[in-house]
Amino acid sequence: MPNVLLPANELVDLYLDPEVIASGITSGDKILIQNVGNGDIWLQSSTSLPILKDRNKLKPYAEAVNAAGDVQAIAYAAHIKGEVNVKLAV
């Protein structure tokens, strides 16, 4: 499954990444996200929610699953580039 590179200090909707789209994942699918980078990643289901909350933090090599039906899957790498692996959750 695809790895998504996250530029530092930018909100990235994982559902809109070309590699994620090519894998057949679409908006609303329940996905498993693994932080495969060296820094913390923050996750949320909307760009309107506050970012950088501890409850949203994904440490290196940790995994998280979003809720089915989420329209967005936002990832944010603060200060350094990040990388996450995205696949359908089972």
Express as a percent the part of the chain with pLDDT over 70: 98
Calculate the CA 86 to chain-centre distance. Answer: 7
User: 46 vs 25, which has greater pLDDT?
Assistant: 25
CATH of the domain at 65: 2.60.120
Report how many domains make up the chain: 1
Rounded Cα distance between 32 and 90, Å, is 8
What percent of the chain has a predicted confidence (pLDDT) above 90? Answer: 82
- Tell me which residue range forms the domain holding 18: 3-88
Copy the structure tokens of residue 90: 């089972």
CA distance 22 to 86: 12
How much is the pTM? 0.92
* 38-75 pLDDT per residue, tens: 999 999 998 776 677 888 899 999 999 999 999 999 99
